[in-house]
Amino acid sequence: MIDANTSLFGLIGNPVAHSLSPVMHNQAFAATGCNAVYLAFCVTDLGAALKSINALNVKGLSVTLPHKVAVLEYLDDIDDLATKIGAVNTIANHNGKLTGYNTDCQGAINALQNRTTLDGKSVAIIGAGGAARAIGFGLATDAGRLTILNRTRQSGERLAADLQAEFLPLDECQPKRYDILINTTPVGMYPNTAATPIAKQALSNEMVVMDIVYHPLNTRLLKEADDKGCLTINGVDMFVFQGAHQFELWTGKKAPVAVMRQTVLQALQTNF
């Protein structure tokens, strides 16, 4: 029930119309008895939007494309990991002080740790954009050896240097070289569902294969990995875990992860 004491949370980005964050967070608030509501705001003027946070006492925000980097200059404080990544996907308002975090990174790590171990593993990340950067910084501390596989050499080498990782052109990927393979590119996403970022021959049955794409849930990459006998992790897990961290930063309560996952899976079935 919304009343005069309801706290306001939200998402800023452009576009936001298809985001699953509102349904996920509102269900999480309901399941934990938080008197809070989460709305999606399509924002073009980022500076004006951030000024209004304190004016309206908005308690926390998710930040999505295209604002994840530009938002840094408007915050009072940025945590160490988000500073290293150079991107913020979460803002918490602590008594008027705005702090930026990056929960994409922890979300990906949790999605992996939920199904496998990372210690000493050899991990390959496909892609060198913002998602690859966030996940790479999380893995750089936990995993044994990190490789960036990217179509374009320049951006791939730049990210690899920042992460002290190896770079390899995407089309030179060999099977059996990696324990864990993570797709961070949009390749395979609806409507281009016939596409896959890496040839099936480059997959082998000992690999864990994770795709951050969740529309469709079962991408061609994951189907082919499954055919090969790999353990597969779909994009819903990372999305839910990054949201769970946001929830915990905002409320101080343990996130109802199972409720959040169920809500997202249901929304994917009905909305898409």
Catalytic residue, candidates 51, 59, 68, 254: 68
Residue appearing with tokens 């324990």: 179
**Distance from C-alpha of 7 to C-alpha of 43, rounded to nearest angstrom:** 20
Nearer to ligand ATR, 27 or 185 (CB): 185
Which of 150, 196, 219, 263 is the binder for ligand ATR (CB under 6 A)?
Answer: 150
**Distance from C-alpha of 48 to C-alpha of 210, rounded to nearest angstrom:** 37
Are the C-beta atoms of residues 170 and 139 closer than 8 Å to each other?
no
Rule CB under 6 A: say whether 131 interacts with ligand ATR. yes
Question: Active-site residue 68, yes or no?
Answer: yes
Phi and psi, residue 75, nearest 5°: -100, 155
Q: Which residue is nearest to ligand ATR (CB)?
A: 129
**Distance from C-alpha of 252 to C-alpha of 245, rounded to nearest angstrom:** 10
Are the C-beta atoms of residues 125 and 182 closer than 8 Å to each other?
yes
Please choose, from the candidates 143, 137, 150, the residue with its C-alpha nearest in 3D space to the C-alpha of residue 123.
Answer: 143
CB of 167 to ligand ATR, least distance (A): 11
Rule CB under 6 A: say whether 21 interacts with ligand ATR. no
Give the binding range for ligand ATR (CB under 6 A) out of 40-48, 97-105, 147-155, 249-257: 147-155
Nearer to ligand ATR, 201 or 205 (CB): 201
Residue appearing with tokens 């918490």: 92
CB of 186 to ligand ATR, least distance (A): 6
Binding mask 151-170 for ligand ATR (x = CB under 6 A): xx--x---------------
CB of 108 to ligand ATR, least distance (A): 12
Phi and psi, residue 64, nearest 5°: -125, -175
Catalytic residues: 68
Site residues (vs ligand ATR, CB under 6 A): 127-132, 150-152, 155, 184-187, 197
